[in-house]
Every structure is written in C-alpha cells, then in structure tokens.
Structure 1
Amino acid sequence: MAGEITETGELYSPYVGLVYMFNLIVGTGALTMPKAFATAGWLVSLVLLVFLGFMSFVTTTFVMEAMAAANAQLHWKRMETHQEEDDDSSTASDSDILTPDSYERAEKQPILSVQRRTSPNLFEITDRVEMGQMASMFFNKVGVNLFYFCIIIYLYGDLAIYASAVPFSLMQVTCTTDNDSCGVEADTKYNDTDLCWGPLRRVDAYHIYLAVFSLLLGPFTFFDVQKTKYLQILTSLMRWIAFAIMIVLALVRIGRGQGEGHPPPANFSGLRNLLGVCVYSFMCQHSLPSLITPVSSKRHLTQLVFLDYVLILAFYGLLSFTAIFCFQGDSLMDMYTLNFARCDIVGLAAVRFFLGLFPVFTISTNFPIIAVTLRNNWKTLFHREGGTYPWVVDRVVFPTITLVPPVLVAFCTHDLESLVGITGAYAGTGIQFVIPAFLVYHCRKDTQLAFGCGTINKHRSPFRHTFWVGFVLLWAFSCFFFVTANIVLSETKL
C-alpha cells in the first residue's frame, strides 16, 4: 500500500507521514527560539510553548475536519455526475418507457450505490484540497480575499526572514578580526558600524551578501521550481545533524559545569517576540493538505498528529533549555547556530563553519520554493474565470512584486527575532488560528445542510463543540491585541 500511486502522488505509511510532519514544523523558527526563551524567562517560555503547542494541535484537527468535509462535497458531486450518466443511459436503453417492474427496481436500488466505486466513506480524505480551495468552498468572496491576503502577508514575512538570515549568517562567520579568528567571542558585542574587511563595515558586508543572495536566488522566482525531492532530503539530513551537534555540545558543556546561563523564571517584556516565535515555530496548517492526503491509512490520524506534537514540544524544550543554561542570555545570537562559532565551544574548525553556515544552505534551498508559492498566490488572488494574463504581467510583474518587498525589508533590518516575532504574531496567528476556526465552523454548517444533521464526519475534530471555535478566535484576538499594545508601548518609551 505504501508504494501505491494515486492522483496525490505516492502514498506513504502513517509513521512516514509523522516524520514528514515533524520535519515540516521544526524549521527556521527553532533557531530563533533559544534567544526568545532567554529574553522571556524559562518558566514563562515553557508555559507559553506548551499552551501554543496545544492550540496549534486544536487548529490542526480543525483543518483535517475541513479537509474531510471538502472531500465529501467533491465525492458527492462525482456521484451525482455518475448517477446522471447512468440515468441517461438507462432512459435511452428503455426507449423512454418506465414499466411498474422497472420503477420498483429503481426504488429498491440504493441511490448512493456508486459510492462503493469511489470511496468507502464520503468523508475519506482522498483528494488533495488546498486551503485556498477550501476557502473558496466554504467562504464568501470577502472571506476568500481575506484568506489570500493573510497567506500572502505570511509568505512575505517568510521571505524577509530568509533573505536576512542568510546574509546575516555569512556576515557573522566571515567578519572576524585578527584577534577573533575563531569567530564570535562570548563577551564581544558587535555593531553594524564595526569594520569587517579593510574600510568595509559589517553592515556593508551584510548588504553585499544580500545583493549576491538576491541575484543568485531571485531569478528562480521568474520560473517554476521542480524536482526538489533530493535537495529537500539533503536539507533535512543537514538540519538534523546540526541540531544533534548543538544539543550534544550544549549538554557536554553544562555537564562539565561550564554553563554560563542563569535565566530568570519570568521577564514579561520579552513576551511579544516569544509569542510570535512560538506561533511561527508551530506553523504547519497551510501545508497539511499536501502532507496528510498521501497517508495510506488515516484510521488513527488524530492520535499520530498528537504524538507528533508531543515529540515536537519535547524537542523544542530540549533545544531551548540546553541553550539558555549553556550560554548567557545577552550572548545568545538571534540565529542560535552562530553561538557555536567560538573556539572554546567547538575546537574543530570544520564543525564551527558547518554550524555557522548551516542556515545558508538550508534556507537557500527553501527560498525559491516559498517565492514561487507566493507568486502563484498572487496570480490566484487576481485570477478571473476563463481569463489569462499577458506575458509581461505573468512573467515579470508578479515575480517582481514577489521578490522586491522582502529584499527591501532585509535591506533595512536583520533583526531576525523581531521579524520572526512580528510575522508569527500577525500573519502566523491568522493562518494558524483564525482561518482554521472559520473553516471548521462553516464546513460544519455546510455539511449539515448538504447531508443532514445526523451525518458524522469520520475525521471530525475531538474539539467538536462550538466553544472551541470561539476559544480559538478569542485567543487569536488576544494575540493581536497584546502584540500591538506591546509595540505601541515600546515605541512610546522610545
């Protein structure tokens, strides 16, 4: 069954799906989490991390229920089409004559008998229905436009983070002084105006790297990115090697009594960035259709997803706690890998450079994929039924408006913690909480209207009471309000 080929591609086992989901969620956000933990305090960070993990799990089950409801509608439409074709052929063969016997046979024949040829259950997730398609099925026109606006803003934030992370990592690794040839020292505080090479400042080096990054990867936005399977496998392998090295090195240093960190239990001034980082670090809802649909057996899907979230929470906790007790809070870098560019932490130069340049390799492979996804969302937002775009608009305008804004943002700032925090707290909250809550609410109403109140969605969320929809929306509103108020207060103090 694992090798069967369907319209959704090659099927894989539930446990392979569990691994894919783990890899999807644990990404760039994990590298900025240690700094956010150190800023907000270990106790507050742990409580918020567990709570946000739970809330993300709730909305993940909402999206799976909406996917099943969307599949039910598609299956029903297919059955109606097949039924009409059968009726037409039957009418033609009977020469438009309906005898009492044929009428009785028609009454006894189950109207949904064609269902056995498509799926054993209407709500089986067999068709990949992306979130945009679900929005079109369950939302009105305004809701669909708001959905695309939210996903576009999130993808812009993603690209801005990627576009700043790569040049920032290169600047940190290569801008060393004669007295600091091993990399970033524990007590060294660099400013952007500090010299890098000769008369060039660090910020100049950052801008040079950003220009090179844009020129090398930007052109991919103008084309379609395909056949990235092996590249993604290599990226995942490098990521897990890097994470394992960092955790082991931090544990060894703590075990030897060389840990420098003494984080406070709570520091509420750091909650804004922590909130955004944690939301960003659990982001997977927009990719669930392509991830879950190919799973061969979905009988225990909810339980497996719950197990995945438990493992992810444990991993985030291990990574962050080893970091904040190994390094002083003030010395933790926005990109955690850069803390291992010190000779006293890592003696082997090859390992130092591997960890320092790790974000460069992994993020560079994801940037073209995210850029093409954003470009296609722009096209879908303005698409009109039956219409086509002129060549200039299709091949120049859309790629340009995709590429230029995130590069400009990266040019203005490389504050990764703030970029991740703002992206997660605003657009991320919309995608992770608001959209799934409205999707599941409207899909439940549509399902009752289409199939009756007694119909049971086999993939319905364990959080089926309407209270949970309201609770998720209330939490999302609280996130928006808290982050906005915090930003306003911070600006007022300045």
Structure 2
Amino acid sequence: MAGEITETGELYSPYVGLVYMFNLIVGTGALTMPKAFATAGWLVSLVLLVFLGFMSFMTTTFVVEAMGAANAQLRWKRMEARQDEEDDDSSSSASDSDVLAQDSYERAEKRPILSVQRRGSSLFEITDRVEMGQMASMFFNKVGVNLFYFCIIIYLYGDLAIYAAAVPFSLMQVTCSALGNDSCGVEADAKYNDTDPCWGPLRRMDAYRTYLAVFTLLLGPFTFFDVQKTKYLQILTSLMRWIAFAIMIVLALVRIAHGRGEGRPPLADLSGIRNLLGVCVYSFMCQHSLPSLLTPVSSKRHLTRLVLLDYVLILAFYGLLSFTAIFCFRGDSLLDMYTLNFARCDVVGLAAVRFFLGLFPVFTISTNFPIIAVTLRNNWKTLFHREGGTYPWVVDRVVFPTITLLPPVLVAFCTHDLESLVGITGAYAGTGIQYVIPAFLVYLCRKDTQLAFGYGTVNKHRSPFRHTFWVGFVLLWAFSCFFFVTANIVLSETKL
C-alpha cells in the first residue's frame, strides 16, 4: 500500500514510519544530554532515562488511542449525515401514506445495522489526520482548549529560544577558538568566560550577540510569511544528523579504546537531576506531532509494537551517545552542545571534520527555526480566533509574527545556557505536552466513546495501559516534576 495517495497524503510502510518517528524524537535534546548525564551521575541518569522513556511510550499510546476515538467520532458523524440525506430523499419522493409507512419501516430496519457498525473495530481505524488541537476541541471544554494552546505556545517559545541560542553559541565557540589564541579549537578544559577576547577588540559575548543579530535578520523574516518543510530539506538534515552522530560515537569509542578517555563520572549527584529531568523529557518529545506522523502509516495492525521498538532503539542510542561521551571527556570539559567538544585537535585531526561537527547544529537548527516560528504564529491565531471573523492586515501580518519572534530572541540575547533552556522547557511546557495533555485526552475520550457508542465498544487502538490507574499515575508524575523543578529552582536562587 506504500505510495497510495489518500486525503492524508502519501502513505508509507510501518517501518518507514518507524524511521520518521526516530528522526522526530532524536534531535537537539540529544546534543545536550551528555553534559546532563555527567552532572547527575551515570547511574541516576540511566535509571531516569529508562523511566522517562517508559513514561513517554505510555503517553504516546494514550495519544494513539485518542486518535482512534476521534476518527470514530468523525466517521460516525459522516455516517449519520449520509443517513439523514437518504432519509430526506426518501421522504421527499414519497407521496402515498402506504409508501411512507413502508419507508419508515425500512428506515427502522436499517438503524440496527448502523448500530452494529458502531461497535465494529473498523470504526476506530485511523484514516483522518486529527491534530492534537482538533482532538482538544472535541474532548475538552473551552477552558481546557485554551490551556492546551497556552501549553503548546509556551513549549514552542522554549523551542525557538533554544534554537536562537544554539546557532550563535556554536558559531561563537568555533570561530572564536579558530581565530583566537587556541588555533586548534576548544581547549581541553573547555573553560571560557564571556568576557574573554574573541578576535580584535570583540569579546566572546559581543561575537555571540553579533551572530544572534545576523541569525535573526536572516531567518526572522520567514516568520512573516508561510514556510513549509520540503522533502529534500528533510532528507538533507536527517543525513547530516546521522553522519554527525555516527562520527561522534565512533571517535569517542576509539579514544576510550586507546586508553585516552578522561571521564570519571560520579555514580549519582542529586544536584544535577533538575536539568537532567528537563533534558530527558525534552529529548522524548513527539506527542504533539504523532497525528501527522502516524496517520499516513499504511498498516496500523502492529502499531503499538512498532512504537515500542522505536523507543527501545532510541533508549539504546541515547545511552550509547551519552555513556561514550561521559567516559571520553571530563565532566567539567563537556559543553552544552556536545558537538563542540570535537573541535579539538587532540580529538579530531582533520580540520574539515572538526568544523563539520562544530557547525552541525547551525545547519540543522537553522532549517527548523522558520518552520517552528510559523507554527507558533499560527497557534497564536488559533487561540484568539473568533468564529467567522478575520484579523486586520496589521494584526495578521505584523502583530502575530512580531510577538512570535521577539520573546525567544530576547531570551537568547540574555543567555546562551542551553542546558538550562532545554531543562526548563522540558520540565514545564514539555511535561504538560508529554504527560498532562495525553492523560486528559485519553481519559475524556474513553468517557466520550462509552457515552456515544455504548459500554461494549472496543477501540482497536486502545492503549495497553487501559486501567484508569495509569492515567492517575501519569498526572501524579507530572505534578511531581513541576513541584521538584520549581522547588529546586527556588532553593538554588535562595542559596545565591
């Protein structure tokens, strides 16, 4: 069935969907994970990584179940509308009372057949792409819908701030090292102050903000227009990502095998859990993109198993990347962006490879920034949308793009602490999207399905975690994350 064209677009096989999901989850968060591992300790990091992978898998199955329930609702409404049209046609064509009585009897005979179809597993087949915003409007009340969009908007702002800081930070690290005293790249201890000279009279912070200004001027205008990701751009960025990851893992393994590994990570350090928690949550983020990713899969018979396989592979990859990193480099020498640790001559001899790894985030993140910015702008429009109303040109083309672009650029102007940005985004907005929203979606869609189709109805895409206990467990864990991270931040500020 791969290649068949439907209203959802071109279908692809389950294994292609598995690859797409892998590429979606493994992104920028993976580059900040090694430092978080080194800070929190290898045992604590491993346990938390596995647990958060399990939690993310559970809420992914919640979203898939909600997608099936939403498709059943849409399909049933279409069936009812079609039946009403047939009834109207039959009523308008009948003039004789006997014919009307016969027609009424036939309609009564037809309805039980449709009722049986209600309970059929095909009713829950995922064929229509129902985005999370549409599912929220179907199952949440007005307050819930507004909170959903608020959470999505905060998360996208965090995403843009991370991207806006990562690109100038990478450029500053690479060019200041190459043009400064350390002509070979980042020094072994990786200790630089923002006030240190970069080149000429410019400080490193001056160079960072200059790159940020150029980045904003080049990519910011895309926020005012419509941008769509092309297939070839996606292939190119994915190819670059996997080449970079493969090079880093191989180089770290070779360095460790030759006895040159400098890392001696602690077993556990509770002070690093806050950032590790946020980084891991951010690194497993995919729930908001599942409808567009999984709907085109041609065969969904073993969808849950494929998703589970994906999570196992992602866990193995994250573990391999992070453990090779923390045993290859000293914890105090690991940078926020792991790629920058390979801009050293004693790690990579070829200058081309050093610059490719050092500038890798620049290419991949720059291609995603306009797409996320346009997505955020459209979410703002949806949040304030008035039924049947349109926005004035100035509001539509100036105000919404400006409030989309300005806050993340200001945040990036104030700080380039990527580990904290990823940690806070993941711990707050990420927790809402990954845990709270899927938990409420699956709980409310189950109630709605029972009321609409009867208590005997079985959703063929129901989650393996079908007991209400799991919904409560996810919400409890989400609340614990909010409380722990907030308390940790307050205590840190108090000590300062």
Bin the TM-score by the shorter chain. Answer: over 0.9
CA contact (8 A) 2:2 2:13 kept: yes
Instruction: Map residues 45-444 of structure 1 onto 2, 5 A cutoff.
Output: 45-83=45-83, 84=86, 88=90, 91-92=93-94, 97-100=99-102, 103=105, 106-107=108-109, 110-112=112-114, 121-176=122-177, 179-444=181-446
- Tell me, what secondary structure is at the counterpart of 1:110? helix
CA contact (8 A) 2:164 2:412 kept: yes
- Separation of aligned partners in 2, 1:184 and 1:264: 24
CA contact (8 A) 1:79 1:114 kept: no
Q: Deviations over 1:312-333 (max 9, x none)?
A: 0000000000000000000000
For residues 134 and 279 of structure 1, do their structure 2 counterparts lie closer, same or farther at Cα, with a shift above 3 Å needed? same
Q: Deviations over 1:463-485 (max 9, x none)?
A: 00000000000000000000000
| Displacement after TM superposition at 1:92 (Å) | 4.5
Larger deviation: 79-88 or 277-286?
A: 79-88
CA contact (8 A) 1:128 1:293 kept: yes
- Separation of aligned partners in 1, 2:382 and 2:444: 22
- Tell me, what secondary structure is at the counterpart of 2:177? coil
- Tell me, what secondary structure is at the counterpart of 2:130? coil
CA contact (8 A) 2:129 2:292 kept: yes
Larger deviation: 305-314 or 92-101?
A: 92-101
Q: Deviations over 1:369-391 (max 9, x none)?
A: 00000000000000011110011
Q: Deviations over 1:89-127 (max 9, x none)?
A: 6754878832458725852675429969999x1100010
| Displacement after TM superposition at 1:176 (Å) | 2.1
Q: Which residue of 1 aligns with 2:33?
A: 33
- Separation of aligned partners in 1, 2:5 and 2:95: 37
Larger deviation: 168-177 or 422-431?
A: 168-177
CA contact (8 A) 2:229 2:371 kept: no
For residues 372 and 100 of structure 1, do their structure 2 counterparts lie closer, same or farther at Cα, with a shift above 3 Å needed? closer
Larger deviation: 102-111 or 66-75?
A: 102-111
CA contact (8 A) 2:278 2:425 kept: yes
For residues 95 and 162 of structure 1, do their structure 2 counterparts lie closer, same or farther at Cα, with a shift above 3 Å needed? farther
For residues 160 and 76 of structure 1, do their structure 2 counterparts lie closer, same or farther at Cα, with a shift above 3 Å needed? same
- Separation of aligned partners in 2, 1:187 and 1:8: 51
| Displacement after TM superposition at 1:187 (Å) | 2.4
**Sequence identity, in percent?**
91
2:449 is aligned, of 436, 440, 447, to 447
Q: Deviations over 1:107-162 (max 9, x none)?
A: 2675429969999x110001000000000000000000000000000000000000
CA contact (8 A) 1:159 1:371 kept: yes
For residues 258 and 454 of structure 1, do their structure 2 counterparts lie closer, same or farther at Cα, with a shift above 3 Å needed? same
| Displacement after TM superposition at 1:360 (Å) | 0.0
Q: Deviations over 1:233-274 (max 9, x none)?
A: 100000000000000000000000000000011000000000
- Separation of aligned partners in 2, 1:100 and 1:283: 57
- Separation of aligned partners in 2, 1:87 and 1:455: 31
For residues 136 and 109 of structure 1, do their structure 2 counterparts lie closer, same or farther at Cα, with a shift above 3 Å needed? closer
CA contact (8 A) 2:158 2:408 kept: yes
- Separation of aligned partners in 1, 2:287 and 2:113: 36
- Separation of aligned partners in 2, 1:445 and 1:156: 33
- Separation of aligned partners in 1, 2:343 and 2:284: 27
- Separation of aligned partners in 1, 2:107 and 2:285: 53
CA contact (8 A) 2:156 2:372 kept: yes
For residues 101 and 426 of structure 1, do their structure 2 counterparts lie closer, same or farther at Cα, with a shift above 3 Å needed? closer
- Separation of aligned partners in 2, 1:373 and 1:484: 28
- Tell me, what secondary structure is at the counterpart of 2:113? coil
- Tell me, what secondary structure is at the counterpart of 1:99? helix
CA contact (8 A) 1:75 1:118 kept: no
| Displacement after TM superposition at 1:189 (Å) | 1.3
Instruction: Map residues 457-468 of structure 1 onto 2, 5 A cutoff.
Output: 457-468=459-470
- Tell me, what secondary structure is at the counterpart of 2:124? coil
- Separation of aligned partners in 1, 2:156 and 2:57: 21
CA contact (8 A) 1:183 1:342 kept: yes
| Displacement after TM superposition at 1:232 (Å) | 1.1
Q: Deviations over 1:69-99 (max 9, x none)?
A: 0110000000001005665467548788324
CA contact (8 A) 2:35 2:331 kept: yes
CA contact (8 A) 2:190 2:334 kept: no
RMSD: 2.0
Q: Deviations over 1:310-361 (max 9, x none)?
A: 0000000000000000000000000000000000000000000000000000
CA contact (8 A) 2:118 2:453 kept: no
- Tell me, what secondary structure is at the counterpart of 2:12? coil
- Separation of aligned partners in 2, 1:146 and 1:423: 16
- Separation of aligned partners in 2, 1:92 and 1:5: 40
Give structure 2 stretches of 5+ with no counterpart: none
| Displacement after TM superposition at 1:392 (Å) | 0.5
For residues 109 and 263 of structure 1, do their structure 2 counterparts lie closer, same or farther at Cα, with a shift above 3 Å needed? closer
CA contact (8 A) 2:61 2:304 kept: yes
Q: Deviations over 1:388-423 (max 9, x none)?
A: 001110000000000000000000000000000000
For residues 95 and 172 of structure 1, do their structure 2 counterparts lie closer, same or farther at Cα, with a shift above 3 Å needed? farther
CA contact (8 A) 2:94 2:100 kept: no
Q: Deviations over 1:194-214 (max 9, x none)?
A: 001110000000000000000
Larger deviation: 109-118 or 242-251?
A: 109-118
| Displacement after TM superposition at 1:226 (Å) | 2.3
- Size of the aligned set, in residue pairs, is 492
CA contact (8 A) 2:189 2:332 kept: no
- Tell me, what secondary structure is at the counterpart of 1:196? strand
For residues 96 and 157 of structure 1, do their structure 2 counterparts lie closer, same or farther at Cα, with a shift above 3 Å needed? farther
- Tell me, what secondary structure is at the counterpart of 2:229? coil
| Displacement after TM superposition at 1:182 (Å) | 1.1
Q: Deviations over 1:177-231 (max 9, x none)?
A: 6x41110011241100000111000000000000000000000000000252211
- Tell me, what secondary structure is at the counterpart of 2:158? helix
For residues 101 and 42 of structure 1, do their structure 2 counterparts lie closer, same or farther at Cα, with a shift above 3 Å needed? closer
- Separation of aligned partners in 2, 1:54 and 1:175: 41
